[in-house]
Amino acid sequence: MEIPPKSPDGSEKSQCKELLSSNTGSTLCSSSCSESVWTSASRSKWEIYHKPVIVVSVGAAVFLFGTVITSLSCIQIKNRKVYKMCGPAFLSLGLMLLVCGLVWIPIIRKKQKQRQKSQFLQSLKSFFFNR
C-alpha cells in the first residue's frame, strides 16, 4: 500500500484521516490510526479491567451451573446420563474461564506499571536531551 505524502501541517492525525477517507484505506490502517494508540489519555479502571471481569463473571456462572448439573446427577432422574456427561464439562469450562480471568488481572496490572515507568523514563529523557 502506498503511503500518501504528509499533510501541509505535518501531523500524523491528518495523514490518518486522509488514508481513512481514501478508497484504499484498509482496516489495518484504521486500527493503527485510532486515537487511543497515539494519545496517552488516562482510562478509567472499568475500561482497563472490563474484559477480565466479564471473563471471571461468566466463568463463575458456568462453574456454578456445572455444580448444579453435577449435583443433579446424584438424584434419581430419568435422563441421569445426560447430567453425568454435561456436569463435569460445565465444571471444567467454568473453572478454566475463572482461572484465565483471575490470571489476566495481574498481567494487566504489571503492564500498567511498565507503561507508567516507560512514560516516566521518556519524559525524563526528553527533559535532559532537549535542553
Q: Each residue's pLDDT tens digit in the chain (131 positions)? A: 445 554 445 544 444 445 445 555 444 444 444 444 445 567 888 888 899 999 999 999 999 999 998 888 777 666 666 677 888 999 999 999 999 999 999 999 999 888 888 888 888 878 788 76
pLDDT of residue 42: 76
Contact of 91 with 66, CB cutoff 8 Å: yes
How far, in Å, CA of 121 to CA of 23, rounded?
A: 40
pLDDT of residue 34: 43
pLDDT of residue 29: 46
pLDDT of residue 63: 96
Supply angle C-alpha 31, 34, 121, rounded to 5. 110
pLDDT of residue 131: 65
pTM greater than the 0.75 cutoff = no
Supply angle C-alpha 51, 89, 108, rounded to 5. 20
pLDDT of residue 48: 87
**Within the chain, what is the greatest distance between any pair of CA atoms?**
81
For residue 63, the tally of other CB atoms under 10 A from its CB is 20
For residue 130, the tally of other CB atoms under 10 A from its CB is 6
What DSSP character marks residue 92?
A: H
